[in-house]
Structure 1
Amino acid sequence: MRAGALAVVLSVLPATVHAESLRAALESAYQNNPNIMSALLNVKATAENIALAKSGQLPSLGLSSSLGGSWQQPQGGEFNTAASFSTSLNYSQTLFDNYKTDAEIEQARAGTEVAKYALRNAEQNVLLAVVQAYYAVIRDTQLVQLRSDNMAFFDAQVSSSEDRLRLGEGTKIDVSQAKTRQVAAVALYRSAIASLQTSQASYERWVGHKPKNLTSDFNFGKSLPTSIDSAIASAQERHPALLSARAAIRVAQAGSDAASASFGPTLSLIGAIDATTGYTTQQGYGSSVGGSAKLSLSIPIYSGGALSASLRKANIQQIQSEVDALSARDEIKESVISAWSTLQNSTSQIDSAQAAVGSSQLVVDGTIQERDVGQKTTLDVLNAQAELTTARESLITARSTKMIAAFSLLAASGKLSPEVLGLRVAMHSADGYIANVEDVWAELHALSDD
């Protein structure tokens, strides 16, 4: 059984050749995680709404051509054929639409801001998930080793109780009790192996490769908030989810303005230049050029209730966006308080667990000595070892919880970013793409370049 257990340990424990710090894991995830890539692409896709909205104020030019022919044979007349080729250059532009397009442009820009903050929020979520997976692997690796040692301890207790039974110094009850604890230790060890495998899979999902000799140290510098009030203030100022909710209010306000503007008039300029070349068997070749221009004024009178429904819907969505912003504010404040409390509590738990480990180790050593001289029983030794194992597991868990809580506090404060953590990576940004989108003559530039 011990040989099989050793094989399992070697198959799941990380390699010890190339160490990987938490900073390196965070850098790898930031550069390669598909969640961040998807959020960046969403910013670029959303930015195209700006160009779509701006097109409502710009002229539209189109070129169309047609080629056709006909023939006829009048009764008693001469057979006649005709062919024609025409080209038309069409122009149209909205001169005034009661500022509806202006509102739609503002709505598109605000929507792009929402997507940009969503990217930052996705980055925070990914980085926090990396931290959670990183320390989960460390925790579960230590638990596997601890439970392996615990299993070896109970193996030794089984052998000791059997030897004492043969010498007449023990009882079958002692042997039975030791074997019961031995079986339980094996079950706990296998459970730790399963948890470690799950943690390693989570690590590989977020970081992009398997964990390798992880270390628990990380230097926060001065990035951690020094008080809960400063953490809440930081969250309200810079948390991307809250900034995204505020930008969503702008989206809804602009949508309401656009819906209200739909009730107003629309003035458009429409023009065309036509050139036609034709041929008939009777008249031969001929050509003509013509043009037209007109102003078109449209005023909505009744639309079956569609305009009113659109306005009511936009107003409701504006109110909803404000309510959602309040909800986001409260949720983020709750996250800050929870992370702060967990961090403070885990520090106390570490101190308590360290004291418990020290005293429990003394109890185990003393109980074994007393058992050997007949003052304690095997059950006393088994119980003392169980308490020691519990204290050690509590210490391992508390250390992991403290580190995760510290990063959770950074995330809740809106500060879990590559800049604050000092990661050596290039920040993902779509600002250059957005600037190109804002260039309303981009299509003409592309044509001239071709």
Structure 2
Amino acid sequence: MFHFLKKTARRGVAALALSTSLAGLASAETLSDALASAYEHSGLLEQNRALLRAADEDVAATTALLRPIVDWFGSVNYDYVGTRSAATGTRTTGWTPDATLGISASILLYDNGASKFAVESSKETVLATRQGLVSVEQQVLFDAVQSFMNVVRDDEIVDLRINNLRLLERELQAAQDRFEVGEVTRTDVALAEARLAGARASLAAAQGDLAASEEFYAAAIGTRPGNLVTPTSLPSAANSIEEAKAVAIRSHPDMLRVQHEILASEFLVNRARAALGPTVRFDSRVSTRRVLDENTFQDGIDLGVTLSGPIYRGGQLSALLRQSMARRDAVRASLHLTRHNIRQQAGTAWSRFIASGSQIQASVRQVEAARIAFEGVREEAKLGARTTLDVLTAEQDLLDAEADRITAQATQIVAAYGVLSSMGLLTVDHLNLRVERYDPEAYYNLVKNAPALRSEQGQKLDRVLKAIGKQ
């Protein structure tokens, strides 16, 4: 069925594409060119890529919880000291200045697995955010398809209105000539004048629609529309509604995103439960203290293991555990809703695509019949067998049929890409667009091990960030 409709679409869009192809291939802009431009210039994609990098940094931040913490410290103090001699009873007082400088280090030895659960949760969040980026990519590309076809459609309708206006001007002139020789009445001339005025109003409205579509195009693509070439083929998609739904359930980014969010919430529940258990840390401290008045030094090294655990915190930890479980349950419920929404979207998109194919077939036959009827009525009017109103009505029927055909052709192309979007396949990879693809793993691989600022990997990361900032 899908391939049959594709053949029908090729025959149907041929007339729509003819005037565009004659404008010259050198400056022609195809739909693929527009999609590539939208992908490369989308601020929405840049925004969500930055959010993905922020999620990547969460992995680095939680990984750091399992590593040693080393700090330096220093202080200058003035201590007020009072002493009394037991033998003489003499009391002395004074201020004693001292300075301390040292290094402290600590490392988590055991926390019931809480930190490891945090790391795993942040990794699942990264994967969920990546799927969110794919959803945004689909939105950007679908908006590009819609804006492209809107301009193509409205431009063709403007040309159609202009041709209709010229035809009505000739009809008005013919009515006036026939009125002068007494073949028709003043009413026939008035009818032609009224239809011509209506055509001018319709042309103005069509030009307004085209201007609005061009603005939508500029916002979606990033450039003003040039010589747009109407697509003559449809993208490959499913062959049935059942296949579309099955692929959507397996590969739609919204479905995959929720699945990763469920795993992330499971790890957060485990982390909240682990927080109820004990924590073991190793602490060390190396310092030197100088009493400034006496010019003496005191060096010290402290080593120790700290074991701690909650006894009573007013019910806070239990509340946090229940809260994490409630959020997990909410995400689980959203999986059920997402599955039904995706199936519905795939079914709706497929139905619109099938309907648009049938509409094209009907509109093509309607145009052919309306043209034959118009030409016949016009010839009969020359012989006096038809009135001016009959000619104008037949001409309007032909105009409406041609406008419906143009709209149906544009609608089918948008609907075909809508099927791809509902299946989760409207991506630069599936469409094989000629663009420099954004690699979501590149930044993650640089930061997942939490590199230090002055390390070799940290310096490489710094160069990447500077390059991103210059874009």
Compute the TM-score of the two structures, normalised by the length of structure 1. Answer: 0.90
CA deviation after TM superposition for structure 1 residue 158, in Å: 2.0
Partner of residue 189, structure 1? 203
* Alpha-carbon distance in structure 2 between the residues aligned to 1:444 and 1:155: 78
Name the stretch that deviates more: 58-67 or 126-135.
58-67
Match of 2:119 among 81, 105, 117: 105
- The aligned residue for residue 328 of structure 1 is 338
Q: Deviations over 1:83-102 (max 9, x none)?
A: 43311211222222221111
2:157 maps to: 143
CA contact (8 A) 1:17 1:213 kept: no
Determine the C-alpha separation between the residues in 2 that align with 1:79 and 1:263. 50
Question: Which aligned pairs between 1:237-256 and structure 2 lie closer than 5 A?
Answer: 237-256=250-269
Q: How far apart are residue 17 of structure 1 and its match? A: 6.6
1:30-429 equivalences under 5 Å are: 30-68=39-77, 83-217=97-231, 219=233, 223-280=236-293, 284-429=294-439
When residues 250 and 73 of structure 1 are mapped into structure 2, their CA distance, relative to the original with a 3 A threshold, is closer
> 2: CA distance between counterparts of 1:246 and 1:346?
34
CA shift, 1:68, in A, is 4.7
Which one is further off, 89-98 or 111-120? Answer: 89-98
Listed one character per residue, the Cα deviations across residues 273-300 of structure 1 (whole Å, up to 9, x for unaligned) are 11112332xxx42111102223222222
After superposition, the Cα gap between the structure-2 partners of 1:146 and 1:102, relative to the gap in structure 1 and judged at 3 Å, is: same
Q: Is the 8 A contact 2:110 2:281 kept in 1?
A: yes
- 1:24-81 per-residue CA deviation (whole Å, 9 max, x = no partner) reads 111111122111111111111111111221222222110011235679999x999977
AA partner of residue 264 (structure 1): G
Match of 2:467 in 1: none
Q: CA deviation at 1:210?
A: 0.7
The separation in 1 between residues aligned to 2:142 and 2:226, in whole angstroms, is: 19
Structure 1: which 5+ residue stretches go unaligned? 1-13
- 2-structure distance, mates of 1:79, 1:260: 54
Shift of 1:214: 0.6
Q: Secondary structure at the match of 1:293?
A: strand
Q: Which moved more, 1:292-301 or 1:420-429?
A: 292-301
1:254-290 Cα deviation digits (max 9, x unpaired) = 121112222212222222111112332xxx4211110
Question: Size of the alignment, in residue pairs?
Answer: 433
- Distance (Å, rounded) in 1 between the aligned partners of 2:217 and 2:339: 30
Mapped to 1, the partners of 2:122 and 2:459 lie a distance apart of: 28
Output the amino acid matched with 1:345.
A
Q: Deviations over 1:378-413 (max 9, x none)?
A: 111111111111110110011001111111111111
- Contact 1:220/1:421 (<8 A) preserved: no
d(CA) in 2 for partners of 1:199, 1:363: 33
Distance 1:278 1:125 in 2: 68
Q: Distance in 1 between matches of 2:298 and 2:351?
A: 84
How high is the sequence identity, in percent, across the aligned residues? 27
Given that 2:61 and 2:450 are in contact with CA atoms closer than 8 Å, whether structure 1 keeps it comes out as no
Distance, in Å, in 2 between the alignment partners of 1:341 and 1:80 is: 92
**SS in structure 2 of the partner of residue 300 of structure 1:** coil
Q: Which amino acid aligns with 2:172?
A: V
| Counterpart AA for 1:37 | E
Q: Which amino acid aligns with 1:267?
A: V
CA contact (8 A) 2:276 2:310 kept: yes
For the 8 Å contact 2:99–2:292, the answer to whether it is kept is no
Q: Which amino acid aligns with 1:51?
A: A
Aligned-residue CA RMSD (Å): 2.6
